[in-house]
Structure 1
Amino acid sequence: MANITTNNPASTGFLSGISGFFAAIGNGLVKIAENDSRVQRAQTLNALSDAELAQRGLKRDEIVAHVFRSSYYV
């Protein structure tokens, strides 16, 4: 049995700080999007079976258009 240990020194350079800043902004935007009630509704509908969606008059490829229909015009 072999064990391998890798120690990577923490990067503290200028570019590391900038990338950390933008990563934090990106993570914040993802959390905002995930907490949107429409995104949660789309996830709930996506978790249903095809038969359950059919009872609601939807197809799987129509979920996003159905949930966001008031937000955009196509």
Structure 2
Amino acid sequence: MAHSTAQLSSFHGLVTAVADIFSGIFDALVRIGEANSKVRQIEALSALSDEDLAARGIAREDIIRHVLSDVV
């Protein structure tokens, strides 16, 4: 009986390890996607004129702070 319990425990450990690996990969891909989105937002705002930024209530020096406000 102890033998089958040991095998089940080993299998559970293996499944957990594999799940952790895939979870880590998925989290990294999500972070990459979010970072790319933030970079595109920063580039789009940086391309605007000072007048357009002011109309949006953003100063040029605050673009990064504005885009990353949900992160920081």
TM-score by length of 2: 0.51
Query: Which residues of structure 1 form unaligned runs of 5+?
Result: 1-31
Give the Cα separation in 2 of the matches to 1:70 and 1:52. Answer: 22
Structure richer in helix, relative to its length? 2
| Aligned counterpart, 1:62 | 62
| Aligned counterpart, 1:43 | 43
Give the Cα separation in 2 of the matches to 1:57 and 1:71. Answer: 20
| Aligned counterpart, 1:52 | 52
TM-score by length of 1: 0.50
Question: What secondary structure, in the 3-state scheme, does the structure 1 residue paired with 2:70 have?
Answer: coil
> How large is the Cα RMSD of the aligned pairs?
1.7
| Aligned counterpart, 1:20 | none
CA displacement, residues 20-68 of structure 1 (integer Å, 9 cap, x when unaligned): xxxxxxxxxxxx58x6101100000000000000000010000000000
Give the Cα separation in 2 of the matches to 1:67 and 1:38. Answer: 7
Give the Cα separation in 2 of the matches to 1:71 and 1:43. Answer: 18
Question: What secondary structure, in the 3-state scheme, does the structure 2 residue paired with 1:70 have?
Answer: coil
Alignment: residue pair count: 40
Question: What secondary structure, in the 3-state scheme, does the structure 1 residue paired with 2:66 have?
Answer: helix
Give the Cα separation in 2 of the matches to 1:47 and 1:68. Answer: 17
1:1-74 correspondence to structure 2 within 5 Å? 36-72=36-72
Amino acid corresponding to residue 42 of structure 1 in structure 2: I
